Amino acid sequence: MIAELGHYALALALCIAVVQSTVPLYGAARRDDILMSLARPAASAQFLAILVAYGALTHGYVTSDFSILNVAQNSHSLKPVLYKISGVWGNHEGSMVLWVLILALFGFAVAAFGNNLPASLRARVLAVQGMIGVGFIGFILLTSNPFERLIPAPLDGRDLNPLLQDPGLAFHPPMLYLGYVGFSMAFSFAVAALIEGRVDPAWARWVRPWTLAAWTALTGGIALGSWWAYYELGWGGWWYWDPVENASFMPWLAGTALLHSAIVVEKRDALKSWTILLAIITFGLSLMGTFLVRSGVLTSVHAFAVDPERGLYILGLMTLAVGGALILFAMRAPSMKLGGMFQPISREGGLVMNNLLLSVATATVFIGTLYPLFLDATTGEKVSVGPPFFNAAFVPVMMPLVLLVAIGPMLAWKRGDLPGAMARLWTAAILSIAAAAFVWSLQNDVAFGPIIGFAFAGWLAGGSITEWAERIALFRVPLSTSLSRAAGLPRSAHGMTLAHLGLAIFICGAVADSFWRQEVVVNAKPGESVSIAGFELTLDRIERAQGPNYRTETAHLSVTRDGAPVTTLTPERRFYPVQQMPTTEAAIHSTFLADLYAAIGEGGDRQGWTVRVWHNPLVPWIWVGCLVMVIGGLVSLSDRRLRVGAPKRRASATPTAQAAGAD
């Protein structure tokens, strides 16, 4: 009964979305306030209906209602409650319901907080948002009904893939979707602006918080996924350039570019068509991610519910959305007025370079990911592109970008002073050389990779800190004055510094781990030991136990350093009988400087167990760096200027917003 209610609510949401995508659009064209005002209640009602549907599906999972096919295929009565709830999005149908729920949530947010948007823009944005909703709710109802019944109901379900029964992964998809779907807001604003034929700084001011929120969530989502791969898959790495990892990384790169180009539109009223195009591309890449995972055109560990029919449907949606937006772009963008002019050496110039490099990076990943597909379709020749290509092609594009991240913020708008900026970056240069020299002294043999990597990270960190210190005139005025200046800085300035610092921290971790990782594999019996990076690990014993829905073998490895006990590592090997699948649970001893990582493989009392140990220097910095980037995004998002819920204060804050608000 409840499942049918959910199904009905979803159908109702489709009807509401159809109204939301047509009537306000017509109203905006006719300048009819009543028709336009329909957009907000429609968006709210659509959200409510999808929430009911989502709740109904969750109810099915939590109560283990195996008469619902989707629940029977993906859940099990013994599964812990957390994974019953997260199991909703651990499969194709449920994840699509989450997808539209988040889409509707963003629409609802515009309806609820968009008081200060011009009525016609708001109506058009919500209409475009409604169209995307129609496409995807229709997709669910036509090809992937999550509420399909299974009669007779089985006694128990088939369980969720045990690799996915993990707290890190439980929250990876929702974060990722918040990012993917969040870019739909930038897309809707871009299309609405194209329909209106007008882009101004006020427009950029509305787009930025949505883009920033999506970017922050996507950063967190990708980092969570990579962290999960690191500790759950039990092979010591954190990024594999897998097609689906790339599918989430491409919108991230494009979204990062969009975030920066929107600043230029806001502050200088320039780069308008480019920003619109980026918004369309970013959401297009998000849709492509959704398409690649579900169509089976690329083989990947993430591919689920592969079905050509569904693939074709999503491809059709993508073509309609992105193709339609690009047609609109080709028609309207040329007539957009050019904004403020600027010299090549200027803040704008720096941001253009940033966009150029990020676009090249996106294109590199795009080509590397899809090259096998293109080549196969064109010549029938089969190739596979592995990590070597990406490392060789991607890193050189990122290096000038990292150099630039330190310089760009030092340049003035319109016309910058490059020698002046470089002169002020002497602290960054010193930090860069110091980092390189320190790394040089650490290494026994001279390897240039890490030296260069740390020099870049030092430069970036030094540059970011210098820029921030200059803004608060640190050490040039009394500390108390500096502190009050820091308090007076806009939060977005702190956010930028944090995000750039996060990148520097990330680079340290990535460089150290790629060049200095050590790995030992042994076959050990209880009592035997293995040494790595100055640690001595002794296999004490293996214990067998029974978990809620799995059996487990746990190894107890006592770790000593120079004879002194450090810790005990307990890597596990689990076996999930319902899915007939073993998983490894790695044990990690993490200090801030390195991870000692142990995993066990197959084994028995007679032949011993395969014990695999890694020493991963600075690997925690990878996720600390991402976390700092996320915090930077959140801090920047809390900036009063961007806060969507504070329209009154904003109206009095700047004349631009007022003028636009009166429009």
Q: How far is the CB of 653 from another protein (least distance, A)?
A: 35
Q: Among all chains, which residue has been given the structure tokens 């992937």?
A: 144
Minimal CA–CA distance to 599: which of 656, 659, 521?
Answer: 521
Dist CA 296 CA 301 (whole Å): 11
Asked if 240 is part of the footprint of another protein (rule: CB under 8 A), the reply reads: yes
Residue selected from 601, 608, 647, 661 as contacting another protein according to rule CB under 8 A: 601
Stretch that binds another protein, among 195-203, 381-389, 461-469, 483-491 (CB under 8 A): 381-389
Dist CA 563 CA 559 (whole Å): 9
Q: Which is nearer to another protein, 241 or 468 (CB)?
A: 241
Q: How far is the CB of 243 from another protein (least distance, A)?
A: 9
Q: How far is the CB of 418 from another protein (least distance, A)?
A: 29
* Residues near 625 by beta carbon (within 8 Å), at least 6 away in sequence: 502, 503, 504, 505, 506, 507, 508, 509
Q: How far is the CB of 512 from another protein (least distance, A)?
A: 20
**Within 10 A of 543 (CB to CB), how many other CB atoms are there?**
12
Q: How far is the CB of 247 from another protein (least distance, A)?
A: 12
600 forms bridges with which residues in the sheet?
Answer: 611
Residue selected from 212, 297, 542, 622 as contacting another protein according to rule CB under 8 A: 297
Q: Which is nearer to another protein, 461 or 537 (CB)?
A: 537
* Residues near 273 by beta carbon (within 8 Å), at least 6 away in sequence: 329, 333, 334, 336
Residue 265 near residue 203, CB atoms below 8 Å: yes
Query: Which of the residues 154 through 213 are near another protein (CB under 8 A)?
Result: 163
Dist CA 132 CA 591 (whole Å): 46
* Residues near 269 by beta carbon (within 8 Å), at least 6 away in sequence: 200, 201, 339, 340
Asked if 515 is part of the footprint of another protein (rule: CB under 8 A), the reply reads: no
Asked if 94 is part of the footprint of another protein (rule: CB under 8 A), the reply reads: no
Helices first, then strands: H and E counts in the chain: 24, 10
Binding string to another protein for residues 349 to 378, with x set by CB under 8 A, is what? ---------------------x-xxx-xx-
Dist CA 45 CA 21 (whole Å): 13
Secondary structure string (H, E, C) spanning 477-522: CCHHHHHHHHHHCCHHHHHHHHHHHHHHHHHHHHHHHHHHCEEEEE
Asked if 580 is part of the footprint of another protein (rule: CB under 8 A), the reply reads: yes
Q: Which is nearer to another protein, 308 or 547 (CB)?
A: 308
Residue selected from 315, 422, 433, 486 as contacting another protein according to rule CB under 8 A: 315
Count interface residues toward another protein (CB under 8 A): 57
Residue selected from 262, 265, 281, 508 as contacting another protein according to rule CB under 8 A: 281
Q: How far is the CB of 286 from another protein (least distance, A)?
A: 14
Q: Which is nearer to another protein, 308 or 396 (CB)?
A: 308
Asked if 448 is part of the footprint of another protein (rule: CB under 8 A), the reply reads: no
Q: How far is the CB of 575 from another protein (least distance, A)?
A: 9
Question: Which of the 8 DSSP states describes residue 337?
Answer: P
Minimal CA–CA distance to 211: which of 266, 290, 168, 291?
Answer: 266
Asked if 391 is part of the footprint of another protein (rule: CB under 8 A), the reply reads: no
Residues in the chain: 663
Residue selected from 148, 519, 543, 663 as contacting another protein according to rule CB under 8 A: 519
Stretch that binds another protein, among 12-20, 28-36, 330-338, 619-627 (CB under 8 A): 330-338
Residue selected from 78, 345, 474, 581 as contacting another protein according to rule CB under 8 A: 581
Binding string to another protein for residues 393 to 412, with x set by CB under 8 A, is what? --------------------
* Residues near 659 by beta carbon (within 8 Å), at least 6 away in sequence: 202
Backbone angles phi, psi at 494, to 5 degrees: -60, -40
Residue selected from 299, 343, 391, 443 as contacting another protein according to rule CB under 8 A: 299
Q: Structure tokens of 262?
A: 């929107």
Within 13 Å, how many C-alpha atoms sit on residue 432's CB side? 19
Query: Which of the residues 207 through 236 are near another protein (CB under 8 A)?
Result: 233, 235
Backbone angles phi, psi at 409, to 5 degrees: -65, -15
Asked if 109 is part of the footprint of another protein (rule: CB under 8 A), the reply reads: no
Residue 412 near residue 379, CB atoms below 8 Å: no
Q: How far is the CB of 533 from another protein (least distance, A)?
A: 17
Asked if 341 is part of the footprint of another protein (rule: CB under 8 A), the reply reads: no
Q: Which is nearer to another protein, 274 or 621 (CB)?
A: 274
Asked if 280 is part of the footprint of another protein (rule: CB under 8 A), the reply reads: yes
Asked if 329 is part of the footprint of another protein (rule: CB under 8 A), the reply reads: yes
Q: Which is nearer to another protein, 381 or 445 (CB)?
A: 381
Asked if 338 is part of the footprint of another protein (rule: CB under 8 A), the reply reads: no
Residue selected from 273, 427, 514, 658 as contacting another protein according to rule CB under 8 A: 273
- Distance from chain centroid for Cα 189: 20
Residue selected from 334, 419, 563, 655 as contacting another protein according to rule CB under 8 A: 334
Dist CA 263 CA 130 (whole Å): 27
Residue selected from 326, 345, 395, 533 as contacting another protein according to rule CB under 8 A: 326
Residue selected from 225, 284, 416, 462 as contacting another protein according to rule CB under 8 A: 284
Asked if 607 is part of the footprint of another protein (rule: CB under 8 A), the reply reads: no
Asked if 90 is part of the footprint of another protein (rule: CB under 8 A), the reply reads: no
Q: Which is nearer to another protein, 303 or 395 (CB)?
A: 303
Dist CA 636 CA 266 (whole Å): 15
Residue type for 308, please?
A: P
Backbone angles phi, psi at 242, to 5 degrees: -70, 145
Dist CA 486 CA 469 (whole Å): 9
Residue selected from 602, 640, 645, 649 as contacting another protein according to rule CB under 8 A: 602
Asked if 384 is part of the footprint of another protein (rule: CB under 8 A), the reply reads: yes
Asked if 323 is part of the footprint of another protein (rule: CB under 8 A), the reply reads: yes
Residue type for 271, please?
A: L
Q: Which is nearer to another protein, 16 or 297 (CB)?
A: 297
Dist CA 239 CA 252 (whole Å): 15
Asked if 591 is part of the footprint of another protein (rule: CB under 8 A), the reply reads: no
SS3 (DSSP) at 238: coil
541 forms bridges with which residues in the sheet?
Answer: 556
Distance in Å from the first CA to the final CA of the chain: 49
Q: Which is nearer to another protein, 93 or 242 (CB)?
A: 242
User: Reading across the β-sheet that carries 608-617, which strands appear in turn?
Assistant: 518-524, 608-617, 594-604, 587-590
Residue type for 267, please?
A: K
Chain residues binding another protein by CB under 8 A are 163, 233, 235, 240, 242, 273, 277, 280-281, 284, 291, 295-301, 303, 306, 308, 311-312, 315, 318-319, 322-323, 326-327, 329-330, 333-334, 370, 372-374, 376-377, 381-384, 386-387, 519, 521, 523, 580-582, 599, 601-602, 610, 612
